[in-house]
Amino acid sequence: MGDELRVSEHDGILELVIDRPHKANAMTDAMFDTLRDSLTRFEDEPSLRVMLIRSIGKLFSAGADIGPHLAPDAYRGGQDTRLRYKRRFHDLFDRLENVEKPVVVAHQGACIGGALEMSLSCDFRLAAASARYLLPEHEFALLPGAGGISRLTRLCGPHWARWMIMAGEPVDTEQALRIGLVHTVYPDETFAVQVDAFCEKLARGPMEMMAMAKQVIEMSVDLDRTQARNAERIAQSVLFTGPEHPQAVEAWHQRKASKKRPAE
């Protein structure tokens, strides 16, 4: 059902809420289609400045709903059908990763399998203290097949990729924070409020700068030192001549002047 991934817009934030607690928030193909449509809306609508993916219930998500795909006749088209199906997820998560606006995901409880692969495509991963992370595909003699291997290895290194993928070991929030899997951990009691505050702060930020930063950061992972410096200089030159920089400077001067003004 489409309402199992609820979509709303407020204060420049496009919010997607996974709402399928009776099925451990496992995501169906229809829910991924809603995510795809929402991403198009996010890309095209200038007033939307931040995307937030969160869930309700005791856990974030058990991942993709694999039940229909374990049936003997699930892939009647054979290997080609399987490859096309997996490519859909690669394409979707690549778009999520590359959209030129910040994407935030907020985890409470367990984040498992495809839900973690989706989360690895986001810019910011915020965790409640109760969050846990697991890639269980080894139970089916399979690999994470939606970009999870390359993204986890790139983010946390081959050491932890082996731990989670080959050994299938879970990672708690303390480990996740230490290895760089998440950015911060909030208490469960204040999690929702602090996530909202973080997203609202992002939404007030300079969007042109964030888009440029996202591109240059991603490029810098693969470029050598000289190329990365060149990309940085070009991006900075564009920002210097754009509209956001003079507006930010003017706002800074106004704040400074207001602090110097004597109280009446």
Q: In this predicted structure, what is the pLDDT of residue 264? A: 53
**Average pLDDT of span 140-149:** 92
What distance in Å separates the CA atoms of residue 180 and residue 194, rounded to the nearest whole number? 20
Any idea what the Cα angle at residue 181 is, between residues 98 and 3, rounded to 5°?
Answer: 60
Q: Which of helix, strand or coil describes residue 50?
A: strand
Dump pLDDT digits (tens) for 154-192: 999 999 999 999 999 999 999 999 999 999 999 999 999
Average of pLDDT values for 124-133?
98
Amino acid at 47: S
Class of 2-203 in CATH: alpha beta
Mean pLDDT value across the chain? 91
- pLDDT, residue 1, reads 44
pLDDT score at 18: 98
- Count of CB atoms within 10 A of residue 4's CB? 20
Q: Where are the domains of the chain?
A: 2-203, 207-260
Cα 68 to Cα 70: distance, rounded to the nearest angstrom: 6
Rounded to a whole number of angstroms, the distance between the first and last alpha carbons of the chain is 59
pTM for this prediction: 0.89
Residues contacting residue 161 through CB under 8 Å, at least 6 positions apart:
149, 152, 153
Identify residue 202 by its one-letter amino acid code.
Answer: L
CA–CA gap between residue 130 and residue 172 (Å, rounded): 8
Query: What is the identity of the amino acid at 17?
Result: V
Nearest CA-CA partner of 126 in 68, 197, 26, 62: 197
